[in-house]
Structure 1
Amino acid sequence: MILDVNLPDDTGLNLCQEISKSNAIVVMLSSMKDTNYVLDAFAKGADDYITKPFNLQILKAKIEALLKRCKPNNNILATSRPLILGHLTIDFARREVILSNHVVPLTALEFDLLHFLASHPNRVWDRAELISAIWNRDDYSGDDRKVDIHVGRIRKKIGDHEGKLIKTIWGRGYMFELSDKDQVQLAD
């Protein structure tokens, strides 16, 4: 879905927040260039933010890259069995995260990021590597802090407020940490 920040009846940011509860991909398209609007859009579930005026070819390329992430044959390691870590289950086949028997409403991008990190545990990934892997962009020139925003939203949604699962490695990036004592299993 492509949304503008300014809508006749409500703000696109409010609609974005409602839509982000599903697996829909949301691209904000707006003349609002202020950093606060951009950060607020990502915080409310936007997968990308494009400012006006914009180039139609770039918009098309960004949408194609976002749609490519939704296809089953993407760069993310897929398994037919869910990954279970205590009360947290990551089910790639169903694109679903379950925490204590409750489905966690992640956006498509949040799910891809969590699954990628969980599929490659105990390795530090810098922002550029995550953008390349998740956003499928090797030539990304935008604000790489959007990775921080998405990690923060994932942590909030899965109850990882203290960063016990997704560790911040200051000055380096992020790591999904699993220790020997963690009971990780692949469900049948």
Structure 2
Amino acid sequence: MGLIFAKLWSLFCNQEHKVIIVGLDNAGKTTILYQFLMNEVVHTSPTIGSNVEEIVVKNTHFLMWDIGGQESLRSSWNTYYSNTEFIILVVDSIDRERLSITKEELYRMLAHEDLRKAAVLIFANKQDMKGCMTAAEISKYLTLSSIKDHPWHIQSCCALTGEGLCQGLEWMTSRIGVR
């Protein structure tokens, strides 16, 4: 009996959870991915297609897909949606002009059948910049309180320093197995 339990436990503990990291170009998606992976800032260039890395947090394996955010690539985001458990939406807290585009993309994703069970973590990135919008301002503008069919959390962060990123990952790990 103990052997069966051990095998079941190892299956549960080593399960991979698919995460897509999306947001407009220059929001900080790739910088966040590599902060998770290496705990350091790496020089990035615009992502064409995607980057994928496995991040392990307290025995929880996240397969993170960082998807390019340029306008020409956004229409292909849905090719990554299958089996996604978590959406990480990275918002550039300085880029007020394009927040409406971020909002359109968020609600388009949430309406997609393949994401109907996905939880959403919003990183309000670039909180170290003067004049940035707060997480509360972004939440209000994106009308996050109207999202009732997806668990969501907004987290202030700074991809360059890593500040706030662990709290976001902790929220994700707390969501596993909740549904």
Q: Normalised by the size of structure 2, how large is the TM-score?
A: 0.32
Q: Which has the higher strand share?
A: 2
Q: Normalised by the size of structure 1, how large is the TM-score?
A: 0.30
Q: Between the two structures, name the one with larger relative contact order (CA 8 Å, sep ≥ 6).
A: 2
